[in-house]
Structure 1
Amino acid sequence: MPFRNVFKNIFHYKALYGALLAWFVYVPEKSAFSESSSLMTYLGLVMYVIGITFNTYIYLIQRSLRPAGTTKRQITSGYEFSYVTCPNYMFQTLNWLGVLLVSRNWSVLLSIVVAVEQMKAWANKKEARYLFEFSGVYIPKKYGTIPGIL
């Protein structure tokens, strides 16, 4: 990882997710959870569970592709990988959209926008790396993170 990414990561994970979300979502007197029985809350919880479950599933697939102690890369494949280069980013976005529906807070939306932009950049780099490393074998994807959108 380039050294400049340290500062970007500190901002993203500490400032956006740590301070901003903690203050506007988790502080009891500022909480948006008063309407906890609404349909939007339940939909958000379902989206969160689906997103986190499939995100974990994708990471397990990716982890199984590299034999222990090697740097060998393989092309990821499977149903989810047919639509986007990085389905883990798609499910992570779904996960955070669920958090947004539950919290109904602008700070979560801001965090999602920043995260999606970063994941889009990472997906584009991964797509380019696949095209370079697996030239002639890899079938390029039209979208990197979210089918039909990004």
Structure 2
Amino acid sequence: MEKCLVRKQAQEWLASFDTKIEEQREKIKKVISANETVSIFGAYNKDFYIYGDGIYRGGQAIYKQLQLTPPGKIKEELIDTGDTFKQISFEALNDYAGDYIFLDQSYGGKLDKENSMWTSMEAVKKDRVFDLDPKRFWPYDPISVLAQSEEIADLLVSKNQEK
């Protein structure tokens, strides 16, 4: 009897999760076209990273749940291969830059936002860069992924309403 109740509660929660994610997708569709791309960058310690749709930095929320489009190189080098992150040089960030960039700076990692390589990126010029709170975007359990999806959708909607 107790197993049936737990199973029923789990099924209800999953259905609620799916409904809430679909609501976030619909919100985003109103402000971002299907051909606009989204990147996740990280400055971690002294290194720079790009992230795919895995457990890191909101990748599950951004790419798997919200189904936002990665730039071609991120899709080819990470998502299609099953890799979740890749260390790259600062100079290579532009090769992976999407129309929108989500940026994680953690464990002493800092991106030089005054550097001309950074300021030359279209997403930076158009003020489409969002800083991620590492404490909020490191977890990848279902409750965290749902909260991240909602926050990402709200950030994108808010930014596009400023136009």
Q: Which has the higher strand share?
A: 2
TM, length-normalised to structure 1 = 0.31
Larger radius of gyration: 1
- Bigger helix fraction: 1
TM-score scaled by length of structure 2 = 0.29
